Structure 1
Amino acid sequence: MLLSSTLYAVYNIYCNNNIYRDRNNTFYNNTINGNTCNNFNYYTNNNIYRDRNNTTYNSYNTNINRDTYNHFHYYNNNIYRDRNNTTYNINNRDTYNHFHHYNNYSCPEYVIVNYKSYKIKLTSDTEVVQVYVNDVEMKPTIQLGDIIITTTAITVLVNVSDIKAEILVSKQAVSVKLPFSYFHGNTEGQCGYCDNSIANDCRLPNGKIEKSCEYMAQFWMVPPGCNPPPYVPPRQPSCAPEMYNACELIKGKFFEKCHKVVPYENYYDACKYDVCTLKNKSVACISLEAYAQQCGLQSVCVDWKNSADLKGLCEYKCPSHKVYKACGPKIEKTCSTRYNDEFVENNCQGKNCQKTFMEGCFCPDNTYLVSSTIDKCTRNCDCIGPDGLPRLPGQTWTFNCTMYQCSNESFGIVKEPITCPTIKPCGHEYKTTIENCCPTCVCDHELCLQKKCDVGFELAANTTNNSCCPPCVRKEVCVYNNTEYKPGVKIPVDTCEECYCEMNKMTQLHYVKCGTKVHAPCPPGFEYVKQEGECCGMCVPNMCNYTADNKTYHLQDQEGYKFRCTTATCHELNGTFVMMESIKKCPEFNPEDCEPGTLKFDIDGCCQICKSRNCVLEKNVTRLHVDDCTSVEDVEVTSCTGRCDTKSMYSMNTKAMIHSCSCCKEESTGHRNVTLKCADNSEIVRDYKYIKSCNCTPTKCVD
């Protein structure tokens, strides 16, 4: 980015090699009124200027121009390069509440101008420069008190007449022009300190002077800024000459007329630097445009974009209704004489301002811009209608219910109101409205939206003939008690009835079908009991339902069922039938005590039994009964069973038969208690003899 510090004097005095020369080719030595010429800075007409803060400055009737594009070029013509992607303060001017912020990375992204209560943001990273005033996008031309913002399609110009400042922004460059009389010694930022000295250009915000302007740049970031990489001194890149052929135009004959008023060396160097650094030939267009722009500001017209040497490299296409002009006016004339007097002529800065050239898209020759807000061109400005559009003599048009005509005689506008025919009163569901400036009847759609149908009906999708609103048509529902029900849905009615919404297949009409409820038969083990206040009774159990051996048995109260080891008994408790089960406990059993082939189950099929082969203790589980009393639980009782030896033999001594007999009898016994429950629900305790062991005991044989 180049920040040009060239000071353009009103009297066109310029400096070269410490020699001053004016437009009449009169030469001076290297000082004028004691002011030394430093690096092409110009001074004329030394006088005293007092600003609004009553501060006195040396005022030289000159302007300061600061041009930026990938390089910074100070007011005092000191140059450095910066390619960091961040936002900088390029110029702070507290005295006039005038600040410039600039966001840069190779090409400018946007510029923010703060002046008084206005924040003007100009985006230059878009195809066309966009303008935002207090964060609201606006289209030039824009007038904000002392500020006028215009555009040439390629560039946007912000002119602050109160302080005679100009900010020029294009897609590729930014230029800030300030009056030396207002800003001498009163600038800071990346533009430098404007005092015609290069010694203090690299100044930090704290006033310290740095040797390296590249290093200084990071301190002028707009908060919060960023963390720049470590500073590395810039190196001049190199590339093949054919890469920067376009740059040669700057120092060639094409710009020869401009060399005398705007030094070209810095633009040429910047052009080569950019092309070789970015390895892109088209980047040369940035420097060419910036230099041509400065030439135009000094009344030197250079139609550089159409140069055959560029071969269309920097070609720019304007909208179809406009043409490209390399040397157009700074502010284009419109059909408005007041606008032209206010901005095109009266408010131009400097005696030669009408010779200032700006490139851009302008109306073709012999045509005018309709207005500052209507981007159209016209040959005739005599008839500009209230809609802001131009009309030809004899042309008629309607606007806001008034007929207009561009008069052939007076070349002025003649207007007359439109006459409307009488209409009849509007009918039902219609309302009166204005169409083509005359009253007419139209459907009142708001009334149609408010139209409601009865229950079971809805608005039809289409209207019928001679009807504005659609009619109410029957819905595919049943209506019962002012409620809609869809087909198949059960309708809540009396408890003894059941109703459903059904459709007649013949008539396609829907109706409610009802029937009396019928109670289903009760299953076995249940009985039907009516309920008071209810339409239908209910099935309640009247016996026990017991399932065993894959069968269900219905048992009355106190009725039992025995299945193998389990005995189940039905009991009624507080109207509820429940089953109580008891499981028989089998006595200890040793199959070895059995005679072979006698092993089997008892009569219940629960416990194993057999025929004992010796005298053994046999245990059994049973309920004991005494009179009308029964043990409350099974009781283990024992007995002695089995065979004992018995023999008969002849005795020679006695000459008779000898008989020997033994009986299977108890060997030891004990007593146990048992609780019995009687028929009257009383309980008694009895004891019984319990055999502990058995043995074969000799006994007398009975003949």
Structure 2
Amino acid sequence: MTFDGQFFKFDENCSYYLVKEIVSKYNLTVIRSHDCDSSESTFCPLALTVTYQSFRVFLTQAETSGTPVIVVHINEKRIYPAYSNSVLLVSGSDMVITVEIPEINTKIIYRGSSFSIDLPYSLFGGKTEGQCGTCDNSQPNDCRSPNGQVETCSDSAGQWQVPGTPCVAPTAPPATAGPVTSPQSPPSPTQPTCRPSICDLLTSSVFAPCHPLVYPGAFLQSCSSDVCDGGNQSCSSLEAYATQCSAAGVCIDWRNATGGLCEHRCPSDKVYLACGPSVEPTCNDRYNKKFQADLSSSSTETKEGCFCPPGSTLFNPVYDTCVTSCGCVGPDGKPKQPGETWTSGCNTCECDPDFMSIQCEPVPCPAEPSPDCSEPGQQLVNRTDGCCPTRFCECDVSLCPPPVSCPLGFQLSVTNRTCCQSYDCVPKGVCVYNMTEFQPGAKIPTSGTNQSAVRPPSEDSFKPGPCQECFCGPTTDPNTNLNTISCTAIICDTSCSEGFEYQPSADRCCGRCVQNSCFFSSENQTVQILQVNTTYVPPEDRCVQYTCQEINGQLVTKETRTTCPPFNPLDCKPGTEVTDAAGCCRSCELKSVCEIHSEPAKIEVNGCVSTELVNITSCVGHCRSSAIYSAAADSMLYSCECCRQASSHLQPVLLTCADGSSVRHNVTQVESCRCSREECSANTTKGPKRRQR
């Protein structure tokens, strides 16, 4: 039912906004969802999330020994009502929880299967949206969609799903008992054809004291809908109505009138009360006074639930234990009865029945004989393991002799004794030479490899000769307990690869191969070997030659490449082609050629273009030129001829401009060509190019 009293049925199982401010002012939202237990998919209780300022209150149910129990979390931390902070006041029982926000005079009541939300009209009138509608005492605009369009409640309800939240599918969808307020005038519910007898209790004498204060019509309609639509949640409508009656100050003890259908079973140590206190008294006097003061304004309101029976008191809301005496509290925070004993640390404690206080004494320890710690390095040590001290022998290594230092070729062998360790030097199975250890098979550096031989006293018998190769052997010298060293004469290999020659060494037994030729790769990727100061010209390229030179002690290959002037045999007079002495460059006596060349093109002048292609003629070719030495002038004499037109004429061409107008333009057309003499400019002939590699 909406704030303005409009009833509708909605059974979808997603997360939806119940209350949301149209324009956020108080930062209040209320969301309904289903909190399904991941280990038990059939248990999906209705849950509410109330967000106000920086606080997030999550109301749900959890199964304890098969019985649903209301659980409250604030900012992800579980709290146990009664609870209060600077903004919130939470009170209630195992069956109903009330969340009050005094700053904005708001109250949310949660029963697990139903809930109600009360907002002050002075603060929220016409300012809310969501499944609960707009709080403005006008039913026609209750069911708005998020875009502000007014629709039927069943159509708009599903549009208030909270983005990004999953939907669940409980096996038995709980009935939706919408939030209720105290309507100013009773609505006129439509009587369904189906009329369950249990729903008649709402209009019977059982609830008669509440009728003047809270009209039962909407709850009767909800009850009939729950039962007639195949559900089994008829008790939820009666619970919701009883809760509203209690909030109005009238407590109704109605469950016995249902013939056991809506019976609520309590744990064995508690009893059911239809009109229990809003905050059950505990053994904590400060807790009792605090919440009695907080709830003094609503002292007439009662809560339905399971409470401690007469003659007992709730120890505290966390442990939820009923005690007959509030005298003692154990170290774990749990109650202790008079005369009860327990062990705390290393003390045996008792709840003294006379003084109602805890008396503790140390745990008695048995007498144990002292151990014998007369062995070398041992000392008597006392250690407390648990509550009682124990004595035992402990080895103090500082009292043991230090390890010995072993000579080269030996290693320390340690043997464990009762307390201290014994030390011996045992051979490693290695050779020792020049203060260095060598494994069997390892080569020994001798004077033949430019190493100075410094032998320890234990190696006086080992005297390697010059140019000997020595190795560490596998046998052991019985006198030194070290492996013996065997030597053989070094045989030098004097053969060298092509391009290298063998050179003896003054400070080594054997010489080495020294490079005496240049190595390079020719154009065909063939590796060539070239002696010093010799030249090689590859047959496939006569324009390049390679020379091997020694520069600063390094062998360097120099590459010299000749660049030939352009040559075209078609330009030569027949029979005049020759090749230079190196076989690289070709030359000939050029013949004079000067001919007319024609090429079609469009003529464009000042943006005006010919409409058709025009054959443009030109003189193309080369004429005779020469350079000869003159002894009389003691210089070079040059003779130059250029290919020019011999005769031409003007050809008129019609051009079309961009504005559509036409102009005539004369194009010079060549009629004949010839070679004509011209002045020559002095030229220099470039020498061959050289490069080094």
Larger Rg: 1
Range into which the TM-score falls when normalised by the shorter chain:
0.3 to 0.5
Alignment TM-score, normalising by the size of structure 1: 0.45
